[in-house]
A and B are shown apart, each in its own frame.
Chain A
Amino acid sequence: GAVVSQHPSWVICKSGTSVKIECRSLDFQATTMFWYRQFPKQSLMLMATSNEGSKATYEQGVEKDKFLINHASLTLSTLTVTSAHPEDSSFYICSAQLPSHEPYEQYFGPGTRLTVT
């Protein structure tokens, strides 16, 4: 149980275009999902916390107008990288929280590798 999927797994886009990444919890409902970014040989850096039906909470230094997050249902959150630039190239990973009480276990998706040319 507790499976999280992401789509696409890999995407290449041109500079200036927008890319949407989907994160789905397949066998459970997740009121809270998280978006992380991971650079090579670096740890996961939390970008934002996404709650179903409300606005996402962004971490300091993350541009909310550039990284649009929509958590429209209990099983789907999307991250849209707008006007992508080469420096946005990274590995983006989502996680979904289960359950809604301690220990707040997070289950991670397989990640999406974004390359901006």
Chain B
Amino acid sequence: QKEVEQDPGPLSVPEGAIVSLNCTYSNSAFQYFMWYRQYSRKGPELLMYTYSSGNKEDGRFTAQVDKSSKYISLFIRDSQPSDSATYLCAMRRAGSYQLTFGKGTKLSVIP
């Protein structure tokens, strides 16, 4: 079993839809959870990070962490064609620099 599982998609939604992206993990030591957006042939861009369980909102983006279920989510409201990208979840233990990434979910928002 991989430490971090993420459905690679692809996921295609109409413009304006609510998008739900998810990752599951097996290592209960993970404390920090991140979501990165990666456009084609570009490096990942940090979207949000969350410490431990709970929700965090930033504009159209909401990150949720449920440590009891080892499940994290990223919601995108009012999705736009410019949101079309690959979304990577990443996580790490407290005190460690190392990030463990999911495979990424490729999202297409259709105008």
> Which residues of A are interface residues toward B (Cβ below 8 A)?
4, 6, 32, 34, 41-44, 46, 49, 91, 93, 95, 97, 102-111, 113
Contacts and interface: CB of A to CB of B under 8 A. Distances in A.
Given A93-B44, A107-B46, A43 B97 contact: no
Majority-rule SS of A interface residues:
strand
B61 interface: no
B21 to A, nearest CB: 14
Contact of A111 (B41, B92, B103): B41
6 contacts: A34-B97, A46-B99, A102-B95, A103-B32, A104-B92, A104-B97
Interface of B: 6, 8, 32, 36, 41-46, 49, 51, 88, 92, 94-95, 97-99, 101-104
The secondary structure that dominates the B interface is loop
Given A49-B98, A103-B32, A108-B44, A44 B49 contact: no
Contact of B51 (A4, A41, A97, A103): A103
A111 B98 contact: no
Contact of B43 (A46, A103, A104, A109): A109
A105 B97 contact: no
A42 B106 CA distance: 11
Nearest to B89: A43
Contacts of A106: 46, 99
Contacts of B49: 103, 105
B98 A43 contact: no
B103 A93 contact: no
Given A43-B6, A93-B43, 15 more contacts: A41-B8, A42-B103, A43-B88, A43-B101, A46-B99, A49-B98, A93-B44, A95-B43, A103-B51, A104-B97, A105-B46, A106-B46, A108-B45, A110-B42, A110-B43
